Amino acid sequence: MNILLVEDNRELSRSMVDLLELEGHTVFEANTLLEAKAHVTRSILLVLLDIMLPDGRGEQLIDLLRSEDRNPHIIMLTALSDRASKRICYEAGADDYITKPFDMMELLYKINAIQQRESANACLKIGPLLIDRISGEMHHGGNYMVLPPSQFRLLDALHRKYLLAEMLSPEDIDSHEAQRGVDVRRRVRSLVTRTRNSIRELGCTAVNIRSNYGEGYYLELDDGTQE
């Protein structure tokens, strides 16, 4: 797993890097906010972020770390244990908080738990279809194709609605264009058609996108295909 470690105590930082790399992780090391900013465009899954840094406070980096296509787990590392500091970090968007001095094994337990969740969430399974969330590859049997991002987002949204036994409205599919006054229903019909064709190209007949006129779209899966 790719990890960004932002820690100004160089001795502690080096010890953590050695341990994490021994566990098989790739670690990008930074000792200041400025150095950390040089790594934010990398494919980082976890950030270990000190609060008190030479050129500012660690939580100032959180907004930059999170964007539309990047949402790493963030664990704050700090000697500050007061409630106010914890509240500031959580409100800024941190996921967890470890107070120094901390047990390295406790940190590894947390990291392993995150890695297990990431592995479980790496693929979207819809009946016999398996879609890699990172590469966009959709597999069925021995066949595969790379889905355009718009088709992946549609299938992901339809699957979430399927689990809730709900309908997906055209406005939910394309809310951004709806705000701009574009003919959303025509645009969505085109997207749904292209996605149906992609599923058929792989030879999959067990997953269908159905429409309910005036209401929206929903997934229909043949019995026994959905776990």
Task: Write out pLDDT tens, residues 118-137.
Answer: 766 678 889 999 998 878 89
Tell me the one-letter amino acid at 170.
P
Distance CA 105, CA 19 (A): 10
165: left (phi over 0), alpha (psi -120 to 50) or beta: left
Q: pLDDT averaged over the chain?
A: 86
218 and 212 Cβ atoms separated by less than 8 Å: yes
Task: Write out pLDDT tens, residues 18-33.
Answer: 999 999 899 999 999 9
The domain locations on the chain are: 2-120, 123-221
* pLDDT at 146 (0 to 100): 94
Q: Which CATH number fits domain 123-221: 1.10.3720.10, 1.10.760.10, 1.10.10.10, 3.40.50.450?
A: 1.10.10.10
CB-based contacts of 119-123 (< 8 A; 24+ apart in sequence): none
Which two tokens mark 168? 């997906």
Tell me the one-letter amino acid at 157.
A
CATH of domain 2-120: 3.40.50.2300
Task: Give me Rg for the CA atoms of the chain.
Answer: 22
82 and 63 Cβ atoms separated by less than 8 Å: no
